Amino acid sequence: MVTATFSADGKLLMSDSRDKKVRLWRVNIKQKIATLSGRVDSVPVVAVSPVAQLIARGSRDKTIKIW
C-alpha cells in the first residue's frame, strides 16, 4: 500500500498500491468491496468525494482518473 484515505463519514477506506490498483474497503465489516484499476504512473494521492460517490486518483502524467 502506498497511501490510504478515509471517506468523510469514516465508513469507507480507499487504499492505493504499487500494483496500480485502488481498493475500496468497508471499515465496519473490514471487507474489500471493490478493486479499481486504470491508472498508469502513480503518485501517492487518492481522494473520495464528500458523499462517497466519486473516487479520484492522481497520476504522474498529469491526469486524474475518476470512478
More confident residue, 56 or 4: 4
In Å, how far from its chain's centre is CA 58? Answer: 10
What's the pTM value of the predicted model, to 2 decimals?
0.66
Q: What does the pLDDT look like over 38-64, one tens digit per residue?
A: 655 655 566 666 666 777 777 777 777
Cα separation, 45 vs 36, whole angstroms? 14
Alpha-carbon dihedral 5, 64, 55, 51, rounded to 10 degrees: 100
